[in-house]
Structure 1
Amino acid sequence: MKFSVDMKPAIKKKQAPQKPASNNKLLIWIILGVALLFTLVFRLRMLNLPLERDEGEYAYIASLILDGDSPFSAYNYKIPGVSFIYSFFMIFFGQGIAGVKAGLMVICLLNVWLFYKAFSRFIPSLAAAIGALFFSVMMSDFSVLGNAAHATHYVNLFSLLALYFAGKWITKPAPLLFLAGGAMAGLTFCMKQPAGLLIPFFGLLVFVPYLKGFLKQWKKVLLSSLLFVAGVALPLGLLALVVTLYNDWERFINWTFIYPSQYASLLSFEQGVGVFKMMFPMIVGAFTAWWIAALAGFIFFAREKSISSTTRWILGGFALFTFLTVVPGYYFRNHYFIVFLPVVAAFAGYSIFWVREKLSKMMGNLGGILGLAVLFLVFLFPVQSRSKLYFSMRPEKISREIYRGNPFADSKQVADFIKRQAKDNDQLAVFGSEAQMYYYSGLKAATGYMFTYEMVKKQPFAEKMQLEMIHEIEASKPRFYIFSNVNTSWLVEPGSPDTIFKWMDASIVENYLPIGVVDILDTRSVFIQDSTVLTYKPQSKNVMWIFKRKN
């Protein structure tokens, strides 16, 4: 049975990793089957889970792409790689909530399988299968907002592919492997800029096959390096072509590089440490035992003599670089950690494998059975504690439960209310960070600003952004306004400009009438429409107002 990929003999003899013993094959397939089945069942249940604001942004931009419009006409800090994938799946699954979630389901199923294929190049196949089981649950959980189609799921797709190709070229170098691995590494950046930190990591792995006799093989090293760089350049070149075709270089540079550099420097290191201390317990959540198992697995892995030092450095490096993708800006948001979860799950899987191996050596078949019992108990407790969320609670109720105070569960109803009154070419302006309203309503945005967070921060471009949004809305004269008077839709920083609020108040009074209000209570909401809106007094602080132009 393969216990590790020993890089030294693999490099010298160019042999493929040893296959797992036949008595483990069935167990591996059973565990992988459970991991894939959980992912499938969970994602099918989440097909109608209301979109949150990030998903709404990606989906709206995807709809622009499908309509032939520039993805850069909607302003955001992210490269539109994820939106292009959204648009691809929308062609097959439709432009609705289910279309977005079905695409995510496909990605997550692929990620579980790729997890196994990639990590089985470096750890025993059974350990990789157990890790895939942990990963299938952890990446789906609400503690990391894994229910939503965030960019981090798509980063995992390409980082796992890159790791798989690297595992193959380490044991048997081939030109296409370096080219493909580079392309996958480049695509991680196209999904989310901080994931570009993975590119130098995979670049370093190009040298691993040539560690012995490095200088004598300099031509091979140079060729392999050039192929990897060419692979990285492929998606980046395609991105440059897209920007050129839409003639949006100035906007692209501003929004994906200049503005984010300001956003990423708002918090100090000390503040970042405070944010991490606050967020990390939420990330671990119900999975404390799994994180402890991962730490134990890392220690077992580092101390295992049968594992080559090269293998240790590779997985240790992957752990370091995936964690570094979480760090930029020091915001440590829940879904950022999804990129780090493959390593956590892999080491957790290795720890269970290690315990089972030790028990088997001491007690024979009984030890193997006890090892499976350990896996069952460690796996079952967190899943059972969250079984209601996973398997029975209605999607709308889940949305209200995990996004308390946010308007996500009500957004589709509000958008349908607007659509019934809208005419051709009507436009919508949303004050607040609720991009899902544009996607649901099907109305063109009266401004490129999908989110308003950046303009209410104490940063150099805040006033400029507010004035630009005002100018765009005044020029468009949208028929409908939505004001999301919800704290999490703005996150106003004290001392930031308030021009947008003063202008909005005056504009609404002069040009608009209220036609609806959503009062967002703790686990339910009240939607008041038409004439009764004028006399309704909201019961909560989180309210969404709908306005219609007078003339």
Structure 2
Amino acid sequence: MASEKSSIPNFAPTPTFWWIALGVLLLTQILFRSHLLSIPFERDEGEYAYLGQLVLQGVPPFQDAANMKLPGTNLMYALFMVVFGQSVWGIHLGLLCMSLGTMTLLYLAFRRFYNPLVGILAVGLYSLMSLSIPVLGFAAHATHFIVFFMAAGWLALVYFAEKPQAKQAFIAGLLFGLSFLMKQQALFYVAFGGLFILATLYFQKKLTVASALPYVSRYLAGVALPYLLLVLWLVASGTFGAFWFWTVQYASSYAGGAEAKSIPTLFGQAFFPLFTEFPLFWILGLAGFRILFWGNYTPFQKTIALLFGALSLVSVLPGFYFRYHYTILFLPALGLLFALSLDVAVQHLTTATRYPFWPFLPLGLFVLVGLTFYADNEGYLNSTPPEGISRQVYTGNAFAESPRIARYIQQRTLPTDKIAVLGSEPQLFVYSGRRSATRHIYTYGLMEDQPYNLRMQEEMILDIEKAKPKFIVYYGISASWIQRVRSPLRIFQWSDQYLTKNYVLSGAADVRR
């Protein structure tokens, strides 16, 4: 919302100053991420990259590989591969571009709806925290893609608030619909967009069924359009049945949640490293839920900040798995609340002293936090080799070893040969350029305490026996399986017999720590 339409004083020295500040943040992001471009794929990235490769080869989603996530991120990977090449470097360069776009969109949205100081501080927090190790910020997870389209939708909503139009509501819905297509967790962002539209009409005293219907219906149509186009594609490709099973039936059992006794541990593992890295951001950000009421903001602006913060926080919670990268979904809202907390302080100091330089105080504070972040992470951001970063972050995994394993396979197979991986390591298919002999490129689902686990094991067994892959790679590391107390053991019993009878040991790789 334009500053002259609210009671917020405009503290910007000049518009040029704020654009320079944004440019510095973008340049810093480029410098920091440039060292991280060659970090080997982890398994989620391997999954997206392999599925993206299949799309580029003309294979529709869910035909040759099982996946419970909506395929939007796979399609973005495919786009990056076309533009930047089918490599780790190319995918991470795409992530860099996506991060720069997200930062710019968030700044434009928050600057217009609040003020430039809020925009810069919020984007500054997002730029550092989304890059950090505690959220696995170097990896191109779906959460980065969700936030990009959400940020674009946020900006569209700001324009809608200034001049409500059905067309603008549709554009906002379309962008939030694309965010949902990246992964189902964006559903909470979709809800935020709808509530933003209703709040706009309410505070403009236009909220009646008759007045709201054109805007809400257009918004929902925009949200639904990407999903409906996907469904039409899958129906035409004959893979809708598999899509429905994996993204609805199986995903529902997965979203049922982690074991209750493990929830505190999962939360602690995800939250405390990030809090320790950025305590000031968390304290002022969470306090922003209360502090913003002391600021010179309109009721509309306060309501939107609360809605955005609450729904973004809830988006991290589904299943209570607390994956490290899930927190990225909360970072734009945390940045906004953090920025509002400092902006309130600037407002009160300026009113009390009438000095115009107070906005530079929070900016200086942020610079100090940024310098501390760099000093604490100099190796990560500058000197530690990419493989070394992978080994440090993913202890007990074989991501750094995957390229060499894949080269060994590639040198001893034809492009038409298939391979099987007993474990959750889809990055091997990407590196080797060989297709999977089974649709199950993850074995986590086979181990989960859910009603389809034994069925999935039998499917994997039948797929492998039918395909007779040239190589079978067995991962004997716990992180590749996450076996549970009640996990069926059929796949292990079968593999012991099948491998002994039909294959000979060709090579072995140790996991370096």
Report the CA distance shift for 1:2/1:270 in structure 2 as closer, same or farther (over 3 A).
Answer: farther
Q: Distance in 2 between matches of 1:385 and 1:277?
A: 21
Residue number among 287, 291, 313 corresponding to 2:303 in the alignment = 313
Query: What displacement does 1:363 show?
Result: 7.4
Equivalence for 1:31: 21
Alignment pair present for 1:457 and 2:452: no
Equivalence for 2:329: 339
Q: Distance in 2 between matches of 1:459 and 1:438?
A: 27
Which secondary structure does the structure 2 equivalent of 1:347 belong to? helix
Alignment pair present for 1:89 and 2:75: no
Report the CA distance shift for 1:360/1:217 in structure 2 as closer, same or farther (over 3 A).
Answer: closer
8 A Cα contact 1:4 1:307, kept in partner:
no
8 A Cα contact 2:443 2:480, kept in partner:
yes
1:501-516 equivalences under 5 Å are: 501-516=492-507
1:242-391 equivalences under 5 Å are: 242-267=233-258, 271-304=262-295, 306-361=296-351, 362=353, 364=355, 367=358, 369-391=360-382
8 A Cα contact 1:47 1:97, kept in partner:
yes
Query: What displacement does 1:473 show?
Result: 0.3
Q: Distance in 2 between matches of 1:272 and 1:22?
A: 44
Query: What displacement does 1:365 show?
Result: 5.5
Q: Distance in 2 between matches of 1:373 and 1:104?
A: 28
Query: What displacement does 1:352 show?
Result: 3.4
1:50-449 equivalences under 5 Å are: 50-72=40-62, 73-211=64-202, 218-267=209-258, 271-304=262-295, 306-361=296-351, 362=353, 364=355, 367=358, 369-449=360-440
User: Could you report, residue by residue, the CA deviation over 1:129-177 in whole angstroms, capped at 9, with x for unpaired residues?
Assistant: 1221121111111100111110000100111111111111112112221
Deviates more, 1:269-278 or 1:476-485: 269-278
Report the CA distance shift for 1:510/1:130 in structure 2 as closer, same or farther (over 3 A).
Answer: same
Q: Distance in 2 between matches of 1:318 and 1:401?
A: 34
Q: Distance in 2 between matches of 1:212 and 1:163?
A: 18
8 A Cα contact 1:427 1:443, kept in partner:
yes
8 A Cα contact 1:290 1:378, kept in partner:
no
Q: Distance in 1 between matches of 2:218 and 2:360?
A: 47
Query: What displacement does 1:221 show?
Result: 1.8
Query: What displacement does 1:254 show?
Result: 0.8
Q: How large is the Cα RMSD of the aligned pairs?
A: 2.2
Deviates more, 1:497-506 or 1:293-302: 293-302
User: Could you report, residue by residue, the CA deviation over 1:362-386 in whole angstroms, capped at 9, with x for unpaired residues?
Assistant: 3735645544433332332233211
User: Could you report, residue by residue, the CA deviation over 1:215-258 in whole angstroms, capped at 9, with x for unpaired residues?
Assistant: 78654422111211111121111111221122111111110011
Query: What displacement does 1:302 show?
Result: 2.4
Report the CA distance shift for 1:214/1:290 in structure 2 as closer, same or farther (over 3 A).
Answer: closer
Point out the structure with the larger strand share: 1
Which secondary structure does the structure 1 equivalent of 2:400 belong to? helix
Query: What displacement does 1:393 show?
Result: 1.7
TM-score by length of 2: 0.94
Q: Distance in 1 between matches of 2:75 and 2:273?
A: 31
Letter in 2 for 1:327: L
Query: What displacement does 1:22 show?
Result: 5.7
Q: Distance in 2 between matches of 1:206 and 1:502?
A: 56
For structure 1, the residue ranges without an aligned partner over 5 or more in a row are 10-17, 523-551
Residue number among 478, 486, 490 corresponding to 1:499 in the alignment = 490
Figure out how many residues of one structure are paired with residues of the other and give that number: 511
8 A Cα contact 2:447 2:483, kept in partner:
yes
Report the CA distance shift for 1:312/1:354 in structure 2 as closer, same or farther (over 3 A).
Answer: closer
Query: What displacement does 1:520 show?
Result: 1.0
Which secondary structure does the structure 1 equivalent of 2:112 belong to? coil
Which secondary structure does the structure 1 equivalent of 2:449 belong to? coil
Q: Distance in 1 between matches of 2:498 and 2:427?
A: 23
TM-score by length of 1: 0.88
8 A Cα contact 1:197 1:325, kept in partner:
yes
Task: Flag the structure with more relative contact order, 1 or 2, with Cα contacts below 8 A and sequence separation at least 6.
Answer: 2
Query: What displacement does 1:31 show?
Result: 2.2
Report the CA distance shift for 1:327/1:106 in structure 2 as closer, same or farther (over 3 A).
Answer: same
Which secondary structure does the structure 2 equivalent of 1:179 belong to? helix
1:11-50 equivalences under 5 Å are: 20=10, 23-50=13-40
Report the CA distance shift for 1:197/1:356 in structure 2 as closer, same or farther (over 3 A).
Answer: closer
Deviates more, 1:257-266 or 1:413-422: 257-266
Which secondary structure does the structure 2 equivalent of 1:70 belong to? coil
Report the CA distance shift for 1:25/1:19 in structure 2 as closer, same or farther (over 3 A).
Answer: farther
Which secondary structure does the structure 2 equivalent of 1:340 belong to? helix
Residue number among 465, 470, 474 corresponding to 2:461 in the alignment = 470
Deviates more, 1:318-327 or 1:275-284: 275-284
Letter in 1 for 2:170: L
8 A Cα contact 1:170 1:208, kept in partner:
no
8 A Cα contact 1:158 1:187, kept in partner:
yes
Which secondary structure does the structure 1 equivalent of 2:278 belong to? helix
Deviates more, 1:79-88 or 1:513-522: 513-522
Q: Distance in 2 between matches of 1:92 and 1:297?
A: 40
Which secondary structure does the structure 1 equivalent of 2:508 belong to? strand
8 A Cα contact 1:359 1:371, kept in partner:
no
8 A Cα contact 2:50 2:426, kept in partner:
yes
Letter in 1 for 2:473: I
User: Could you report, residue by residue, the CA deviation over 1:33-74 in whole angstroms, capped at 9, with x for unpaired residues?
Assistant: 221012212222222110100000000000000000122121
Q: Distance in 1 between matches of 2:9 and 2:174?
A: 28
Q: Distance in 1 between matches of 2:308 and 2:386?
A: 35
Which secondary structure does the structure 2 equivalent of 1:409 belong to? coil
Which secondary structure does the structure 2 equivalent of 1:481 belong to? strand
